């Protein structure tokens, strides 16, 4: 009679219950919402997606085409619909999410976004946003996704992903990391450069002490096609500094639209808006 109440039996019942609701008991035993221990399939997602993407290089003569979106924060139902729509697109090679993957900087939120985005038939890559740095979010992003500054080359184009969330560092004068950005822009082994970050340089959340250096570095890069951001939740395209450099802002997931970006030649591109 009493044996069924022994604690080891209880714990095994609990494990069964936990598995039944979709999480192992280890992940359910959360030490804090800031606890970033993640299951194996929710770690180092940037590296994993890059490995997949780069294993299938763009054949010569094929057009470079990717989906551009941003700010998935707390729009999980919208993410589900976005994935269904993107999976219908032909000839798209990957998707970029321009930061604010999470709303509260918590690892679980990043898992929830990945729960949707992993249903994509293409790879997706992210850059860190300000909401991903709330609390201990910077560490959670590092665990779930990866580096805060990284770059990759695909289709003769270098995609430079950089952290521009200066306010989250209390405007310490070091965000974005200009030595790193300049070094990336100096790569002349590829035809084109595209730089992607969350906070646009004309925004008040961009460190004003670094703005001039950033804008100047972009202006002086002969290979730069355009600069891309998120943060503002709505599409825009323009040259805010009137210096010949084009800045593109993404729709947020909640806007239920995304962009398909097609690039060819040295700096030719076309943006297509897709509602979903």
Q: Which is nearer to other proteins, 47 or 77 (by Cβ)?
A: 77
For the segment 227-266, give every residue that binds other proteins (CB under 8 A): none
Minimum distance from CB of 1 to other proteins (Å)?
7
Pick one of 49, 108, 193, 198: the residue that binds other proteins (CB under 8 A).
Answer: 108
Q: Residue 157 half-sphere exposure, CB side, CA atoms within 13 Å? A: 27
Parallel, antiparallel or unpaired: strands 247-249 and 224-229: parallel
Pick one of 100, 114, 163, 168: the residue that binds other proteins (CB under 8 A).
Answer: 168
Is residue 3 near other proteins by the rule CB under 8 A? no
At 237 the three-state DSSP class reads strand
Only one of the segments 32-40, 152-160, 179-187, 226-234 lies at the binding site for other proteins (rule: CB under 8 A); that segment is 32-40
Is residue 74 near other proteins by the rule CB under 8 A? yes
Is residue 7 near other proteins by the rule CB under 8 A? yes
Q: Please answer whether residues 144 and 36 qualify as being in contact, where contact means their C-beta atoms are separated by less than 8 angstroms.
A: yes
At 127 the three-state DSSP class reads coil
Minimum distance from CB of 18 to other proteins (Å)?
6
Residue of 71, 67, 134, 138 lying closest to 99 (CA atoms): 71
Cα gap 207→169, rounded to integer Å: 9
Minimum distance from CB of 130 to other proteins (Å)?
9
Q: Which is nearer to other proteins, 138 or 192 (by Cβ)?
A: 138
CB atoms within 10 A of CB 244: 9
CB atoms within 10 A of CB 52: 12
Minimum distance from CB of 142 to other proteins (Å)?
8
Q: Please answer whether residues 197 and 184 qualify as being in contact, where contact means their C-beta atoms are separated by less than 8 angstroms.
A: no
Cα separations in angstroms, 18 against 34, 48, 115, 256, 276 = 21, 28, 18, 34, 35
Only one of the segments 41-49, 72-80, 91-99, 155-163 lies at the binding site for other proteins (rule: CB under 8 A); that segment is 72-80
Total residues contacting other proteins by CB under 8 A comes to: 49
Residues that bind other proteins (CB under 8 A): 1-2, 5, 7, 10-11, 14, 18, 20-23, 25, 28-37, 74-77, 79-80, 103-106, 108-109, 112, 115-116, 133-140, 167-168, 170
């Amino acid at each position: 009679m009493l044996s069924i109440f022994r604690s080891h039996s209880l714990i095994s019942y609990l494990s069964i219950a936990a598995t039944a609701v979709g999480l192992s008991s280890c992940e359910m035993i959360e030490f804090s919402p800031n606890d970033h221990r993640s299951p194996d399939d929710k770690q180092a997602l940037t590296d994993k997606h890059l490995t997949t993407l780069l294993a299938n290089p763009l054949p010569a003569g094929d057009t470079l085409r990717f989906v551009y979106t941003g700010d998935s924060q707390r729009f999980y139902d919208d993410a589900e619909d976005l994935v269904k729509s993107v999976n219908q697109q032909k000839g798209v090679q990957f998707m970029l999410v321009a930061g604010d993957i999470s709303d509260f900087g918590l690892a679980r939120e990043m898992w929830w976004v990945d729960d949707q985005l992993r249903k994509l038939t293409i790879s997706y890559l992210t850059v860190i946003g300000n909401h991903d740095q709330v609390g201990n979010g910077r560490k959670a992003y590092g665990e779930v996704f990866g580096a805060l500054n990284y770059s990759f080359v695909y289709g003769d184009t270098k995609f430079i992903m950089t952290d521009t969330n200066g306010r989250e560092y209390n405007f310490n004068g070091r965000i974005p990391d200009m030595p790193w950005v300049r070094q990336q822009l100096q790569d002349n082994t590829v035809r084109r450069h595209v730089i992607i970050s969350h906070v646009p340089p004309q925004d008040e959340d961009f460190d004003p002490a670094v703005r001039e250096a950033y804008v100047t570095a972009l202006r002086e890069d002969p290979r730069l096609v355009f600069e891309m951001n998120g943060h503002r939740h709505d599409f825009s395209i323009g040259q805010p500094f009137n210096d010949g450099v084009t800045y593109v802002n993404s729709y947020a997931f909640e806007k239920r639209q995304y962009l398909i970006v097609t690039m060819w030649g040295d700096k030719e591109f076309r943006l297509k808006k897709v509602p979903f």
